[in-house]
């Protein structure tokens, strides 16, 4: 759809649309045998087009853009980005023009995600993968302003300080339900949702033993003979390893460093990222993962995607099976949305 001729005020929209996603307990013998309780927070049901963690991340950004009088949003993403699609849908609803800077070469016909974004009125512009790596550098952004005029900038994935604030409200909503839990888990791509959960635990459960757990869906830890140019500033995220030849190697956890960079320093919150279930990298799928998703959907009638929510639940079930999640643990897992990047993907 094109821009709405009678656009809605974002503040009014986010005030009137229910902002609490339902909780659903999963009854499964594989969990029951280990004494673990699992609840899903159905963020995927928040809204049909501005859904899941994109709803959370866009909320305060859209309100701020409207308050500042911006008429354009510019953001970044890959050809199958659900952030691109959600931003395009939001722009159409709120009467804000949207510009998507897409990584890679243009091709025809468009995939379903970009085709839908274009239907919502998003202007698509393609840049090479080499140029895309410089997307947040001042010179690159200045060139974009020269080409497109002034705009409200949304980072890739929508992750910034306002997005953290939006995601932290998940913890507040859980507090209002009165449900006690030990672990709140989320799939991790850019780290924004996890950072929001950590900040929410700090804000609403200061001093508790509740833990935030991120399941990395991409290769976010690398090891090399020397640190890359942009090595993490926090040494706890980098460890030196000595190989058999006596050479020093450095293991860098970029995703954890990204989360740290998004948060105030030294928050007394228990959190970690598990890197063992990326299964080869972002959007990489194995037959075991596919079988798990199919069985879960058949058993519980809940759609999962293999990029984010499928990997997270696959990881949680394996951690329970292997005894890495203790008997008696109560987990809340976020269904952050059905990822549109999997629709009709070749």
Q: Which domains are present in the chain? A: 10-49+161-221+229-234+253-342 (3.40.50.1100), 52-158 (3.40.50.1100)
Total residues found in the chain within this entry: 346
Question: What does DSSP assign to residue 20?
Answer: -
Q: Which residues, at least 6 apart from 8, have a Cβ–Cβ distance to it below 8 Å? A: 93, 94, 95
The reported pLDDT for the residue numbered 49 is 85
Which parts of the chain fold into alpha helices (H)? Answer: 10-16, 29-32, 52-67, 82-94, 112-119, 129-132, 138-148, 161-177, 192-204, 254-262, 287-300, 309-321
pLDDT of residue 15: 84
Q: Which tens digit of pLDDT belongs to each residue from 55-77?
A: 999 999 999 999 999 999 999 99
pTM score of the predicted model: 0.86
Cα–Cα distance for residue pair 182/258, rounded to 1 Å: 24
DSSP string, 95-119: T-EEEEEEES---SSPPHHHHHHHH
Q: Which residues are CB-contacts of 339 (< 8 A; sequence separation ≥ 6)?
A: 82, 305, 307, 308, 309
Lay out the sheet containing 330-334: strands in order across.
Answer: 23-26, 37-41, 330-334, 183-188, 211-216, 270-274
Q: Is the pLDDT of residue 239 over 60?
A: no
* Cβ 149 vs Cβ 123: under 8 Å: no
Could you give the CA distance from residue 324 to residue 316 in angstroms, rounded to a whole number? 9
Q: Is the pLDDT of residue 237 over 90?
A: no
* Residue predicted with more confidence, 76 or 345: 76
**What are the pLDDT digits (tens) for 259-274?**
999 999 999 999 999 9
- Distance between CA atoms of residues 317 and 303, nearest Å: 16
Distance CA 48, CA 93 (A): 12
CA distance 169 to 20: 9
pLDDT digits (tens, 9 = 90+) for 86-136: 999 999 999 999 999 999 999 889 999 899 999 999 999 999 999 999 999
b/e map of 230-267 (b: 16 or more CB within 10 Å)?
Answer: eebeeeebbeeeeeeeeeeebebbbbbbbbbebbeeee
For 21-59, how does the pLDDT look when each residue is reduced to its tens digit (9 = 90+)? 789 999 999 999 999 999 999 999 988 888 889 999 999
């Amino acid at each position: 759809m094109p821009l709405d001729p009678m656009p809605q005020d974002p503040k009014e929209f986010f005030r009137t649309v229910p902002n609490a996603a339902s909780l659903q307990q999963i009854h499964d013998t594989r969990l029951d045998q280990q004494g673990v309780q699992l609840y899903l927070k159905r963020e995927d049901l928040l809204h049909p087009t501005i859904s899941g963690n994109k709803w959370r991340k866009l909320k305060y950004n859209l309100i701020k853009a409207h308050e500042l009088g911006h008429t354009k949003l510019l953001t970044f993403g890959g050809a199958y980005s659900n952030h691109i699609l959600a931003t395009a849908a939001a722009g159409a609803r709120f009467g804000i023009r949207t510009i998507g800077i897409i990584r890679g070469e243009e091709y025809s016909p468009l995939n379903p995600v970009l085709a839908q974004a274009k239907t919502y009125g998003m202007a698509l512009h393609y840049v090479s993968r080499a140029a895309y790596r410089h997307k947040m550098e001042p010179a690159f952004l200045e060139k974009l302003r020269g080409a497109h005029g002034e705009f409200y900038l949304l980072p890739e994935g929508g992750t910034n300080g306002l997005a953290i604030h939006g995601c932290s409200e998940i913890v507040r909503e859980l507090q209002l339900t009165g449900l006690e839990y030990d672990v709140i888990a989320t799939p991790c791509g850019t780290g924004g949702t996890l950072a929001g959960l950590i900040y929410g635990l700090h804000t609403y459960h200061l001093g508790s033993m509740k833990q935030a757990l991120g399941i990395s869906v991409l290769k976010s830890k690398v090891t090399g003979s020397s640190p890359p140019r942009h090595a993490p500033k926090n040494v706890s995220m980098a460890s030196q390893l000595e190989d058999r030849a006596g050479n020093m190697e450095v293991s860098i956890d970029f995703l954890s460093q990204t989360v740290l960079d998004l948060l105030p320093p030294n928050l007394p919150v228990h959190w970690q990222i598990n890197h063992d279930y990326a299964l080869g990298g972002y959007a990489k799928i194995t037959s075991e993962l596919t079988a798990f998703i199919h069985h879960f959907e058949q058993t519980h009638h809940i759609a999962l995607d293999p990029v984010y929510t499928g990997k997270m639940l696959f990881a949680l079930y394996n951690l329970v099976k292997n005894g890495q999640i203790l008997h008696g643990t109560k987990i809340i897992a976020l269904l952050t949305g059905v990822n549109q990047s999997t629709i009709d993907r070749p």
